[in-house]
Amino acid sequence: MKHYDIIIVGSGPAGLTAALYAARSDRSVMIFEGQQPGGQLTITTEVENFPGFEHGIQGPELMDIMRKQVHRFGAESSFTTITNVDFSGKPFTVTNDRDETFSADALILSTGATARWLGAEHEDDYKGYGISACATCDGFFFKDQDVMVVGGGDSAMEEADFLTKYAKSVTIVHRRDEYRASKIMLQRARNNEKIEFLENTVIQSYKGEKNNGIPKLTGVVLKDSISGETREQDVHGVFMGIGHTPNTQLFVGAIDLDDSGYVKTKPGTTRTNIAGVFACGDVQDSIYRQAITAAGTGCMAALDADRWLAEQE
Ligand code: NAP
């Protein structure tokens, strides 16, 4: 069984920043990159708010640079997914989807979060056939078509704005008439003449047809969230922009999670309830969830882990 000082589970800005600091502290480090190497930024386009890039940078490019920087200091990456963790003994062990087990003196959990789905009727029938949770990945397929974005936060505004590059029209469907989105992003969407707003409205179900056995979304049934009235509207694509769920299924029962499933950390630190296990990034942050805050907590996790290891030595 290969042993490392520190194993990092997850490879977004949190995990890679943790790896950078840990490797520069002369610790042996393995990063398990998981199903989406580089994390959520790899399905983003322009990142304008990561300091240091005056003119912005493409999300995938930013993550490639981070990974190269980390590898320069000797951290290793495994492009596998951890399927089992054992926090009960020392050293800790993790097993990947190739059934290989690795051990480490300290663990850093940075598995991030995943886009949420509405769960409306027939959603599963059209996922990937008109319904998507990633405008950056799938927007291109909706050239000159009418699409909807669900949600009233920054994600919804960003997705809607992005989709206007391709779509004929974009309708933001929001269940209230107040928005969580930041003023600047809401205003940007409002100023975009291709974007319309449908407030106090929810998608009740999806409608579609099959062409040669292939499903195709053709419309939605909308429900007014105040009057309860329903009506149909034709649409070719629907994009989720309703937030994220922390990727903590692997840790249920093994570590303390909060009511929403985020890993609990001791305030002001990245320490979890298990000595030697640290958490950083979106897996423990339901509030800020920015690449830069994830990177910041990644740095904290590496410093916390390094100090903890030094105390054990
Ligand atoms: P969010 O702020 O939690 O917003 C989620 C939105 O989806 C809310 O408007 C919510 O409605 C709605 N929603 C949730 N569940 C729903 C359901 N079942 N049915 C209908 N609507 C539902 O999530 P987010 O937009 O993903 O943003 C998360 C964090 O990332 C925020 O801090 C945000 O600022 C940040 N972010 C930043 C950028 C950027 O700066 N470039 C881009 C994206 C995200 P209610 O308001 O009614 O609850």
Tens-digit pLDDT profile for residues 31-46: 999 999 999 888 766 7
Q: Above 90 in pLDDT, residue 244?
A: no
pLDDT at res. 243: 87
Catalytic residue among 64, 125, 134, 224: 134
First to last CA, the chain: 21
Nearest atom, ligand 1, residue 119 CA: 18
Task: Determine what percent of the chain is predicted with pLDDT higher than 70.
Answer: 99
48 falls in which pLDDT band (50, 70, 90)?
A: confident
Q: Which atom of ligand 1 is nearest to the CA of 115?
A: 26
Contacts of residue 262, Cβ cutoff 8 Å, sequence gap at least 6: 246, 248, 283, 284, 285, 286
**Ligand 1 centre distance from Cα of residue 178 (Å):** 12
Query: Which of 99-102's residues contact partners 24+ apart within 8 Å by CB, and which partners?
Result: 101/1, 102/1, 102/2, 102/3, 102/4, 102/7, 102/30
SS3 of residue 155 by DSSP: helix
Q: How far is the CA of 189 from the centre of ligand 1 (A)?
A: 15
> Measured between alpha carbons, how far is 270 from 303 in angstroms, rounded to an integer?
9
Q: What is the band of 73 on the pLDDT scale with cuts at 50, 70, 90?
A: very high
Whose Cα sits closest to atom 40 in ligand 1?
154
Between CA 25 and CA 27 the distance in angstroms is 6
Q: Does 289 score more than 90 pLDDT?
A: no
Please report the atom of ligand 1 found closest to the CA of residue 154. 25
- Among protein residues, the one with the nearest Cα to ligand 1's atom 26 is 243
pLDDT of residue 251: 98
Q: Of 137, 177, 234, 256, which residue is the catalytic one?
A: 137
- What is residue 71's predicted lDDT score, i.e. its pLDDT? 98
Q: How many CB atoms lie within 10 A of CB 21?
A: 22
CA dihedral 252, 254, 255, 256 (to 10 degrees): 60
Secondary structure, 3-state, 11-44:
CCHHHHHHHHHHHHCCCCEEEECCCCCCHHHHHC
Region 250-265 average pLDDT: 97
Looking at residue 222, its pLDDT comes to: 98
List 5, 105, 138, 161, catalytic entry: 138
Q: Which residue, by CA, sits nearest to atom 5 of ligand 1?
A: 242
The per-residue pLDDT for range 122-160, each reduced to its tens digit, is 999 999 899 998 888 789 999 999 999 999 999 899 999
List pocket residues of ligand 1, CB cut-off 6 Å.
49, 118, 150-156, 158, 175-176, 180, 182, 202, 241-244, 289
Question: 134 an active-site residue?
Answer: yes
Q: Inform me whether the pLDDT recorded for 287 exceeds 90.
A: no
Ligand 1 atom closest to residue 287's alpha carbon, by position in its atom list: 32
Q: What is the pLDDT of residues 91-132, one digit of tens each?
A: 999 999 999 999 999 999 999 998 899 999 999 999 989 999
User: Is 280 in the active site?
Assistant: no
| Ligand 1 atom with least separation from CA of 116 | 15
**Closest to 302 (Cα-Cα) out of 84, 110, 112, 65:** 110
State how far the alpha carbon of 6 is from the alpha carbons of 9, 12, 106, 263, in Å: 10, 16, 5, 18
Is the pLDDT score of 47 beyond 90?
no
Query: Residue 77 Cα, ligand 1 centroid: separation in angstroms?
Result: 31
pLDDT for residue 277: 98
Torsion of CA 150, 155, 160, 166, to 10 degrees: -120
More confident: 244 or 235:
235
Q: Has 138 been annotated as catalytic?
A: yes
What are the CA-CA distances from residue 262 to residues 45, 84, 200 (Å)? Answer: 26, 18, 29
pLDDT at 259: 95
Q: What is the mean pLDDT of residues 176-193?
A: 97
Q: Which long-range contacts (CB under 8 A, 24 or more apart) does 273-278 make?
A: 274/87, 275/308, 276/90, 276/92, 276/105, 276/106, 276/107, 276/305, 276/308, 276/312, 277/87, 277/92, 277/106, 277/107, 277/108, 277/109, 278/18, 278/106, 278/107, 278/108, 278/109, 278/304, 278/305, 278/308
- Taking the centre of ligand 1 as the mean of its atom positions, its distance from the CA of residue 42, in whole angstroms, is 19
Q: How much is the mean pLDDT over the chain?
A: 96
